[in-house]
Amino acid sequence: MSGGARIAPFQWADYFETGFGEVDAQHHKLVDLVNALAQRAATGSEIQPAELSHVLDGLGSYALHHFTAEEALMVRVGLDERHLRSHRQSHADFVAQVEEMRHTADPTRAVPVLYRFVSSWLTFHILDTDQNMARQLRAVAAGSTPAEAFEAAAGYSSDPGNTALIAAVRNLLGLVAERNSELARINVSLEQRVAERTAELTTANQTLRHTLDSLQETRDRLLEADKLAAVGQLAAGVAHEINTPLGYVASNLGTLREYAERLLALVDTADRLAAGGRNADAWTAARDGTDLDFIREDLPTLVAESNRGLGQVSDIVHALQDFASAGPTETRQIAPAQMLNEAIQATAGTRQPGQEVVRSYATLPEMAVNPTLLGEALKALLDNAAKALGSDQGTIVVRAWRQDESLVVEVEDDGCGMDEATRGRIFEPFFTTRPVGQGRGLGLSSAYRIVHRHGGRLDVSSTPGKGSCFRVVLPLSPSP
């Protein structure tokens, strides 16, 4: 038990002494134990199982030595059998109660019970039964018979005030111990409630953080959609403004070519008419001065290059118009595997020899989409993967599977990959990493816009030198 007790309701005094040294020594130890338990009861400090076992072992040792010594003393002096029988029974009851406390269901709440037990023993046995024994021992020693000593001790009346006061102190400290134990249980309950509330708040914070992240992602997507819408409007306006003069230039270029061919034919006629004539030399000199042979050779090349340039401008205009398209106004049911296979077949010419496409499709239901537009988006992803491989050998993996109520399509390559800065701009209109003239920067941005207008999303993950993976997530059922 703990040392240096500040509360000691029982101080060793003359009224504890029986006059028999070995008996009084054992009583003194019991008084010290009662005071130690009173200190523990007053402070509310719980007794642990190992400590309780130690205390009970001490009480067992006390019973073994003290009771043996007392009973031997009473037998040796020859006290009345009536007293011996009741005294032995009280000793047996003490041992039985000690053993019962060893099996208490909750050792940590044993202080009130243990304190009341030993203080009761102190009050009703040591201050009563043992004092009665001492009086009989002294009477027999003075010449009384055991029966006379027993009868005289039976008529002895102890001070009721002392008995009541000792019982009151015992009950008071027992009540304090019970209240402290109850406070300890309340404290444990409060700690459990605080822990539960803390866990609830932690869960709520995690949910709130997830919601905020989701809102931030939604905000970013809305901003991206607004930006694409603005660029789409601009692209539609630019395409319209370019398309009209482009038609003029294409038409006029065709007319100019026709006119040039007529003029060259006229020159050929002039050559025949002037041959051998009076002005043949003058015509030849004038003809040579215009470098007509070079013009005849170069003119078709210039017209062809101009037509190719117009064709490129026309392609750009069409791309702008496609980018500005209102989206999937018409949809039809189609098998995703069919749409993917058609896109792979359509982009076969963009892949170099040794570049392999690996298909990995799960069983997929048909879905309502605009197959033309969505096919263009898939072709843009496949074309981008082929360009990421360059002229090297490599693999493009096309995966498709159902995830809850969504279709997931991945186009992954093991090509050059992208750094973080490029990955952050990959879906911006007109952004490209290709050399000038080899890319318009509208393929991936158009794919992003098409997927978004189908109610889906397009994400990318990439590692420089290891490749990229574009993921399309589309709802299997259109939003109402």
Domain hosting 278: range is 226-323
Asked whether residue 173 is assigned to any structural domain, the reply reads no
Based on the domain organization, do 25 and 141 belong to the same domain? Answer: yes
CB 427 within 8 A of CB 440: no
Is the predicted pLDDT of residue 1 greater than 50, yes or no? Answer: no
Based on the domain organization, do 385 and 426 belong to the same domain? Answer: yes
Pairing of strands 355-361, 394-403: parallel
User: For 419-478, what is each residue's pLDDT tens digit?
Assistant: 888 888 888 776 676 554 455 567 788 888 888 888 899 999 999 989 999 999 999 876
Asked whether residue 179 is assigned to any structural domain, the reply reads no
Q: Among residues of the chain, what percentage have pLDDT more than 70?
A: 74
pTM beyond 0.85 = no
Domain C-terminal end among 265, 300, 323: 323
CATH number of the domain at 449, please: 3.30.565.10
For residue 39, the one-letter residue type is Q
Based on the domain organization, do 336 and 318 belong to the same domain? Answer: no
Minimal CA–CA distance to 416: which of 454, 379, 462, 348?
A: 462
Pairing of strands 406-413, 457-463: unpaired
Is the predicted pLDDT of residue 67 greater than 60, yes or no? Answer: yes
pLDDT of residue 4: 44
Asked whether residue 165 is assigned to any structural domain, the reply reads no
Based on the domain organization, do 39 and 143 belong to the same domain? Answer: yes
User: For 356-374, what is each residue's pLDDT tens digit?
Assistant: 999 999 988 999 988 888 9
pLDDT of residue 83: 87
Determine the average pLDDT of the residues in 143-161: 78
Asked whether residue 59 is assigned to any structural domain, the reply reads yes
CB 6 within 8 A of CB 39: yes
> In b/e form, how buried is each residue of 205-234, taking b as 16+ CB within 10 angstroms?
eeeeeeeeeeeeeeeeeeeeeeebeebbee
User: For 74-120, what is each residue's pLDDT tens digit?
Assistant: 898 899 999 888 888 888 887 887 787 777 656 556 666 676 677 66
Sign of CA dihedral 347, 349, 351, 356: positive
More confident residue, 161 or 10: 10
Based on the domain organization, do 309 and 436 belong to the same domain? Answer: no
Pairing of strands 367-369, 332-334: antiparallel
Based on the domain organization, do 318 and 338 belong to the same domain? Answer: no
Based on the domain organization, do 33 and 85 belong to the same domain? Answer: yes
Based on the domain organization, do 357 and 235 belong to the same domain? Answer: no
Based on the domain organization, do 339 and 381 belong to the same domain? Answer: yes
Asked whether residue 124 is assigned to any structural domain, the reply reads yes
More confident residue, 178 or 375: 375
Domain C-terminal end among 139, 158, 177: 158
- Residues 122, 23: Cα–Cα separation, whole Å: 13
For residue 90, the one-letter residue type is S
Asked whether residue 440 is assigned to any structural domain, the reply reads yes
**Inter-residue long-range contacts of 422-429, CB under 8 Å, 24+ positions, other chains counted:** 423/460, 423/462, 426/460, 427/224, 427/458, 429/228, 429/231, 429/235, 429/323
Q: Which two tokens stand for residue 197?
A: 């509330």
Lowest-confidence segment of 20-29, 256-265, 380-389, 431-440 by average pLDDT: 431-440
Sign of CA dihedral 245, 251, 253, 256: negative
Q: Which two tokens stand for residue 212?
A: 């905020």
Is the predicted pLDDT of residue 295 greater than 60, yes or no? Answer: yes
| Confidence grade of residue 168 (pLDDT, cut at 50, 70, 90) | low
| Confidence grade of residue 402 (pLDDT, cut at 50, 70, 90) | very high
More confident residue, 395 or 207: 395
Based on the domain organization, do 104 and 132 belong to the same domain? Answer: yes
- Mean pLDDT over all residues of the chain? 78
Based on the domain organization, do 309 and 371 belong to the same domain? Answer: no
Asked whether residue 272 is assigned to any structural domain, the reply reads yes
Is the predicted pLDDT of residue 2 greater than 60, yes or no? Answer: no
Based on the domain organization, do 308 and 338 belong to the same domain? Answer: no
First vs last Cα of the chain: how many Å apart?
A: 76
- Give the distance from CA 45 to its chain's centroid: 40
Pairing of strands 467-475, 394-403: unpaired
CATH number of the domain at 95, please: 1.20.120
Query: Is 159 buried (19+), middle (13-18) or exposed (0-12) by CB count in 10 A?
Result: exposed
CB 250 within 8 A of CB 310: yes
Asked whether residue 211 is assigned to any structural domain, the reply reads no
Domain count, the chain: 3
| Confidence grade of residue 413 (pLDDT, cut at 50, 70, 90) | very high
Domain C-terminal end among 261, 289, 323: 323
- Residues 116, 110: Cα–Cα separation, whole Å: 10
Is the predicted pLDDT of residue 353 greater than 80, yes or no? Answer: yes
